[in-house]
Structure 1
Amino acid sequence: MRIAIFSDTYAPEINGVARTLRHYTTYLEKQGIEYRLFVPNASTPVPSIPQVQRFTSIPFLLYQECRLAIPNPIKIKQSLDEFKPTLIHIATPFNLGLYGLHYGKKQGIPMVASYHTHFDVYLEYYHLTFLQNWIWKYMKWFHHSFEKVYVPSQSTKEKLLSKNIHQNIELWGRGVNHSYYSPTKKSNTLFKERYHIHDDKKILLYVGRIAPEKDIHIVLETYNDLPEHLKQETHLVIVGDGPLFRELSEKTGPNITWTGFMEPDQLSQLYASSDLFLFPSSSETFGNVVLEALSSGLPVIGANAGGVQHLVDHEVTGFLCEPRDIKDFVRYTSKLLDDSTLRLTYSKAAREIAREWSWDAIFKELLASFSKIAERKNQISA
């Protein structure tokens, strides 16, 4: 098997899709499976890797961390002709994905797609809902030529089926590095030494993009609406960067710490040293940070929507709230902050459940699915 992969984001960019694809290519290398990856230039200089071809790019309007490549068709065709892929995997519906689709059609190569982002939901947050019908028409046209479309969660599958995007949709979940995101990374002095937070404070943690589609305002409103005694006992730590970072971080009080972007090794320690994870986003197709928090032994307060609803076991590893319902988020956040015994019970359950999510098992299933597609295509051709 030789796989050509097209994406609009990849390491060292820090987002769920980029990190998933990095785990994916690492697994392919471990299995001795050849691949070529076609992606935009990174926002920072990166070493050249033979399997990865990068192209000039510009930031994507709705998601600056995602970049739109300006493909070089001659260079891509030459590379693909030399590589002779047996399967094309397209993880973006934009420029690079379009070229991969064109090449696969012309050469009769089996093609699959993976769907990662609800761009229609993003349009709501950026007041561009008039584009939603066009987006779905385009997505239906773009995906109709693929043998199969892979999605990260059951709710995403149901949504695409309801939009008639494709009839052959399969779950391709996500995993987590259990030794990396682990309660053993806990530090009792981290917050005091690094952020000057008094060591008797409970830590309420958010990790993610600081952007409208993450419902970041719910994090702040939930904290501000906590009962006064809990607010005094709790410090809110917000990790991440994004378009709202400067505006929001300049307006908040002394009991809220904004760390900005954080490297993964620092982040794993931060997860393990916190008390509770708050993640109200209802736009997720999966929710990688939620799985990282659970693996670190953190109970999670999340939205009962999108991919998060499939990760948090209500009243076992945390609580699921009605999307954008501040009262619901305050009620459940207060309940866990106020009950250390319940937090500990949920913490142990979170770690145990997260251990069931294995990258190796997930990629093994994916490649088995690829093999069936290639085999079926060969039988039809014969």
Structure 2
Amino acid sequence: MKIALFTDTFAPQVNGVARTLQRLVHHFEHRKVPYQLFVPETIQQTDVYSHHIHSFFSLPFFLYPECRMALPNPFTIRQQIDAFKPDLIHITTPFNIGLSGLHYGKKLNIPMVGSYHTHFDHYLKYYKLTFMSEGLWKFMKWFYSHFNMTFVPSKETKAHLVRRGFTNIDLWTRGVDCFQFSPKHKDTSLYERFNIKKKYVLLFVGRMAPEKDLETLQAVMEQLPERIKNEVHWIYVGDGPLLQEYKENFTQNITFTGYLAGSELASIYALADLFVFPSTTETFGNVVLEALASGTPAIVANAGGVTEIVTHEQTGIICEAKSPTSFISAIERLLSDEILRLQMGYEARKYARSQSWETIFDNLLLQYEKAYSMSHSDMKLVSSHH
């Protein structure tokens, strides 16, 4: 089956969607699935997939600079689709490139599936743009109504869309690479490099932006009881609009690394005693699964897709969203009970090992087949009525 993938975000951009799609493309290669990619141009486009990639001039998107708004060339897209003749189009974003895919899918009668990755409606609250919410939902509902199936990363996301009247929603969860992320990668030289003189390391990984509920984390840092504050070193991994402000406000017992990937990131996950992640806007939360794979228990909010990754009291603690006191008591409890913390780390790793990308992507390929055959049975129905 030949797949055309249309997305407004792809590696080397930095976000969960881009990284998941990059892995999906690796899987296409691994399973010898013929594919073509339609993506925004980025400065350092990787040439690994160059013979499969068609990229278009793009500009940063104001709500989310890591996502790019491309200006696709309809003529080129039409030419490429005619030459490739895909059996199925997979559209992952409702922006310009996604819309181009939708246009040609409809025009050329090619079966289409979509995937929903980001709660943009939640983001609007953090940027004081809630007045745009109804218009956004109308557009999203129209956009996703064209697909045989819409894939979502968590049951929470599915429920969120069903409430809004979306149909044909199927689960496509996320996996983790347990070789890349593992307790084995703990690197003690980091204590010196980051000037860590405290007993415990608490970690946050993610975009340094309002929609990650960093306000909650800031309050946690400020309100921790003195005896715990004096034993803790914080590490923030990530880039974004709030990074500068945080660097100015917090200077004691804290390290801001900026964006990290690969073995550098893996060694920090493995070093941390706890992963603290207050975000309430995640459709999944890849970073939480990476922490668990590294044997690091996670403390998360009871909102969004993260609640399906962490098992409360077993691989971490699920706290009341936006409640600094709830997060503080979870941190206190796990730092004061080493046996419980190690037990949770062990269970976390065990769970992560059951979430392999290979199984998840193979399942997606089966869902592609199903969506394709849905279209063909619809066509037979139509022709038999004529």
TM-score, normalised with respect to structure 2? 0.96
| Residue number in structure 1 paired with 2:349 | 351
Distance in 2 (alpha carbons) for counterparts of 1:248 and 1:208: 14
| Residue number in structure 2 paired with 1:153 | 154
2:253 aligned with 1:255: yes
| Residue number in structure 1 paired with 2:121 | 120
After the TM superposition, which residues 99-248 of structure 1 pair with which residues of structure 2 at under 5 Å, given as runs?
99-164=100-165, 166-192=166-192, 194-198=193-197, 200-248=198-246
Distance in 2 (alpha carbons) for counterparts of 1:188 and 1:266: 12
| Residue number in structure 2 paired with 1:17 | 17
Report if aligned partners of 1:184, 1:272 keep a CA contact under 8 Å in 2: yes
| Secondary structure of 1:178 counterpart | coil
| Secondary structure of 1:259 counterpart | strand
What letter matches 2:214 in structure 1?
A: I
- After superposing the two structures, state which structure 1 stretch, 219-228 or 100-109, moved more: 219-228
| Secondary structure of 1:278 counterpart | strand
RMSD of Structure 2 on Structure 1 (CA): 1.1
Q: CA deviation at 1:45?
A: 4.7
Gaps of 5+ in 2: 381-386
| Residue number in structure 1 paired with 2:384 | none
Report if aligned partners of 2:7, 2:97 keep a CA contact under 8 Å in 1: yes
TM-score, normalised with respect to structure 1? 0.97
- After superposing the two structures, state which structure 1 stretch, 174-183 or 329-338, moved more: 329-338
Distance in 2 (alpha carbons) for counterparts of 1:239 and 1:45: 23
Distance in 2 (alpha carbons) for counterparts of 1:195 and 1:380: 60
What letter matches 1:17 in structure 2?
A: V
Distance in 1 (alpha carbons) for counterparts of 2:371 and 2:265: 38
Runs of 4+ aligned residues of structure 1 deviating over 6 Å after TM superposition are none
2:373 aligned with 1:375: yes
Q: CA deviation at 1:248?
A: 1.6
Q: CA deviation at 1:263?
A: 2.5
| Secondary structure of 1:109 counterpart | coil
Report if aligned partners of 1:230, 1:338 keep a CA contact under 8 Å in 2: no
Distance in 2 (alpha carbons) for counterparts of 1:121 and 1:69: 23
Distance in 1 (alpha carbons) for counterparts of 2:137 and 2:354: 34
Gaps of 5+ in 1: none
Q: CA offsets, 1:222-268, max 9 Å, x none?
A: 12211111110110111100011111211113111111111222000
Percent identical residues: 49
Report if aligned partners of 1:206, 1:219 keep a CA contact under 8 Å in 2: no
| Residue number in structure 2 paired with 1:3 | 3
Q: CA deviation at 1:375?
A: 2.0
Question: Which of 296, 301, 308 is matched with 1:310 structurally?
Answer: 308
Distance in 1 (alpha carbons) for counterparts of 2:94 and 2:43: 20
What letter matches 1:275 in structure 2?
A: D
| Secondary structure of 1:250 counterpart | helix
| Secondary structure of 1:50 counterpart | helix
Distance in 2 (alpha carbons) for counterparts of 1:26 and 1:44: 19
Q: CA offsets, 1:316-367, max 9 Å, x none?
A: 0111011101110111111112221111011001000111111011111111
